[in-house]
Amino acid sequence: MTRIRSMIGRAALCVASLSLLAACSTDSPPDLPPASDSRAIAEAVQGPDGRVFLDDIIAYPWQDGGRDAGARFDWIGEDATSSDHDDAARAADTAHALAAFLAENRTAVSAAPPNPAVFEALSRSLVPFVGALVGDPGTTPAFRPLDDVGGSMSQTAALFATMIGREATTATFVDVASDRADADERAFAGAAASNPSTITAEYLGGLLRAARLRGLLTAGSTLADPNAPEPTLLAARTQNAYAVAAAMVPPNEPSIERAFFGPTGELLGPERIPSAQWSQYDAQLRQYLAAYPAITDALQQFDTTFRRIADQ
């Protein structure tokens, strides 16, 4: 009987040792293709085990913060606008798979070790496709948006939430998205002020892409942190109205409150208006622009697009 107990004890010890060995094996770094082999990396990301491959990379606590692992994705940004169609398509398809993974696995990504270099690399790899995400293929025509850009863009909003939730990505992907929206809004304002009776499809399209980006940044911020203050429709629409009106309103225009002008008669920007007066300020700018139906229609389309995406 004593011998049987001893055998059982040794067997239990063996099982425990094997379990410990299995647990330890998960602490080994994942086996990755060489950074120079873009084809192998693309196949690993896009293949049937792509999620496992990416899970392994973000879940492992890399000693170098993920710098070496992140280097596996550097080629995506480099090939995104390649003149070689196959290279550009491979980069676009791999970036699409990365974007879908980040959108669909927000919880796992938020719980992953810091690995700042990994997330910086993933962010850089998606930067060339920010325009394509909201309907402007530009120099990356092979990239497919995650959503119908005419809808609420919920999967893209989840991607933005993931990127906003990881500090390492904010200075790249998120800032590029905001800067691109700024540029499209400025282009629209310039065109509208130059020819207020006609808004071409080019500039209207740019304004609506800006609305999508603004909506995605707002929805992403809310999804990432429901308690964080979120940008409002009033802030977004007022900035657009000001950008157009600033180039058109004469000094000290009598239909607009004197308090909204500076000492030399220039129209003040929204950042110089007390928040309690924003609604009145916006309403007066809109009233002034109401004489130009093409502009007011475009601004209304901006509002509708922004609201549809921001209110996730």
Q: Are 72 and 35 in contact (CB under 8 A)?
A: yes
- Does 26 have pLDDT greater than 60? no
Which whole number is the average pLDDT over 141-153? 97
Which whole number is the average pLDDT over 93-113? 94
Q: Which tops the pLDDT comparison, 120 or 16?
A: 120
Which whole number is the average pLDDT over 208-237? 89
Per-residue pLDDT tens for 180-222?
A: 999 999 999 999 999 999 999 999 999 999 999 999 999 999 9
The 10 Å CB-count burial string (b at 16+, else e) for 88-106 is bbbbbbbbbbbbbbbbbbb
Stretch (H or E) spanning 47: none
- Provide CB contacts within 8 A for 132, sequence distance 6+: 92, 138, 140, 141, 143, 144, 145
Which whole number is the average pLDDT over 257-273? 96
Structure pTM? 0.87
Which pLDDT value is given to residue 232? 78
Which pLDDT value is given to residue 146? 98
Which whole number is the average pLDDT over 145-153? 97
Written as one letter, the residue type at 130 is V
C-alpha to C-alpha distance for 195 and 232, rounded to whole angstroms: 29
User: In whole numbers, what is the pLDDT of the chain averaged over residues?
Assistant: 89
User: 167 pLDDT band (50/70/90 cuts)?
Assistant: confident
